[in-house]
């Protein structure tokens, strides 16, 4: 049996943990399909809340304090909390996982 590289396993665990969060999946889906490589947190909040995902103030707080920092930690995006901007990079392992999850069980955020 081949041995797993612990750092690779930890990285995959981190990606799967991020994808377990519906807010992260919704944010990633928006960024994947956006034509802009840099978006404001306000635009991101407005777009996600337009899809019926709740109060914009609460959503913006969740994005700022939880969702965007977690996604930035995986390397899929850069979040600048001072300028309130997000720069999407994509991720060669995360995007196929995200697409597979989206195809098999689309869900909305409560």
pLDDT tens for each residue of 70-104: 999 988 999 999 999 999 988 888 888 887 877 77
Show the 3-state SS of 5-38: CHHHHHHHHHHHHHHCCHHHHHHHHHHHHCCCCE
pLDDT of residue 110: 39
pLDDT tens for each residue of 8-61: 678 788 888 888 888 898 899 899 889 898 999 999 999 888 766 568 889 999
pTM of the predicted model, to two decimals? 0.79
Q: What is the CATH number of domain 6-104?
A: 1.10.10
pLDDT of residue 1: 42
Which residues 6+ apart lie within 8 Å of 51 measured at CB?
Answer: 26, 108
């Amino acid at each position: 049996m081949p041995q797993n590289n612990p750092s690779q396993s930890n990285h995959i665990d981190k990606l799967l943990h991020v994808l377990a969060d519906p807010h992260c999946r919704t944010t990633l889906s928006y960024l994947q399909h956006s034509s802009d490589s840099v978006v404001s947190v306000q635009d991101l909040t407005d777009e996600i809340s337009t899809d019926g995902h709740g109060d914009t103030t609460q959503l913006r707080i969740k994005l700022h304090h939880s969702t965007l920092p977690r996604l930035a930690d995986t390397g899929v995006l850069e979040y600048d909390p001072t300028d309130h901007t997000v720069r999407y990079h994509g991720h060669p392992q995360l995007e196929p996982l995200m697409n597979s999850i989206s195809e098999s069980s689309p869900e909305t955020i409560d």
